[in-house]
Structure 1
Amino acid sequence: MLNADTLTKWMTNFETRITKEKDHLTELDRVIGDSDHGNNMERGVEAIKAAFEKTPPTSDLAQDFKTIAMAMLSKVGGASGPLYGTAFLEMAKLAKTDTDFGDLVDAAAKGIAKRGQAKTGD
């Protein structure tokens, strides 16, 4: 089961990893896009951190996931903002009744697939 403590650790690790790999993400995007993915994602995790400094995670995981989603939607450009935002919004919906991490990740993946109109084999 996911709780506020594990969510905080998860987002802290996410921020650390994005910051560490920012240049690599940008380089990967340079090959297929406009070379802004690393910077965009760094802005997103900084927005999550700022949002949680203002309002720390609570026992209301649905609200916490919504906070993450809004941070990503407002700060991450390109396709990644809507995709990550959708993932966390889907987690927010499910977290009202289910806090099993596997179920939450499954809901996020389905949301991303639906938003991106992805299907098996893409």
Structure 2
Amino acid sequence: MRDADFFRQWMAAAAAAVEREADRLTELDSPIGDADHGSNLMRGFTAVRAALDADPPDTPAGVLQLAGRTLISTVGGASGPLYGTLLRRTGKELGQAADVSDEDVRKALDAGVSAVAQLGGAAPGDKTMLDALVPGVAALDTSYRAAAEAAERGAGATVPLQARKGRASYLGERSIGHQDPGATSSALLLAALADVANGPL
């Protein structure tokens, strides 16, 4: 069973991963976006870590909903609402239980990903964060590590795609040949989850 501390550790690991990879995320965003994905996410997850340290929620849902609200209020562009929606909806789906099962986590993340798809009007293949999140969450049936690996493969698979949603879609065919920064940061999020879980479902 996973308690609030597990989810606080996940957010802390995600913050560390984003900080570590911020320059790479911005580099990926430079040719097809606004060259600010890394710096925006780093600001957001730094604020998440501070918010969770200042007033730690005592349920998994509370942790994710506070994290989501913080990202929405601190991250510019589309990333804040999309990541915020992912975490808030996942938290809402978990309910108010003090401990949740790995199956609960999988179902909740599935609902969170569906909410992201609805908000952004995107689908797998559109060269967005969904190209990492959808296969990643599907692979949670196997293990957290499998989910991280599937998300990483999904992010890599965005390179030959033409963007159909988001800022990159304005570039048309010029978006081909670049890895999507949102898919890359989504893969980091699931890798952080796998690192904290450190075991199969």
Segment of structure 1 superposing worse, 93-102 or 5-14: 93-102
Which stretches in structure 2 are left out of the alignment for 5+ residues? 127-201
Deviation string 1:27-82 (CA, Å, 9 cap, x unpaired) is 01101111111110001111101101111131x22222210011100111111001
TM-score normalised by length of structure 2: 0.57
Query: Which residue of structure 2 aligns with residue 112 of structure 1?
Result: 116
Asked if 1:18 corresponds to 2:22, the answer is: no
| Deviation of 1:107 (Å) | 1.2
Matches within 5 A, 1:34-73: 34-58=34-58, 60-73=59-72
In the alignment, the residues of structure 2 paired with residue 112 and residue 2 of structure 1 have an alpha-carbon distance, to the nearest angstrom, of 24
TM-score normalised by length of structure 1: 0.91
Query: Which residue of structure 1 aligns with residue 88 of structure 2?
Result: 89
- Matched residue SS, 1:118: coil
Larger Cα Rg: Structure 1 or Structure 2? 2
Amino acid at match of 2:93: L
Amino acid at match of 1:111: A
Pair 120,41 (structure 1): closer, same or farther in 2 beyond 3 Å: closer
Query: Which residue of structure 1 aligns with residue 180 of structure 2?
Result: none
> What percentage of residue pairs aligned between the two structures are identical?
40
In the alignment, the residues of structure 1 paired with residue 52 and residue 76 of structure 2 have an alpha-carbon distance, to the nearest angstrom, of 21
RMSD: 1.5
Q: Where in structure 1 do 4 or more consecutive aligned residues deviate above 4 Å?
A: none
Which stretches in structure 1 are left out of the alignment for 5+ residues? none
Amino acid at match of 1:55: D
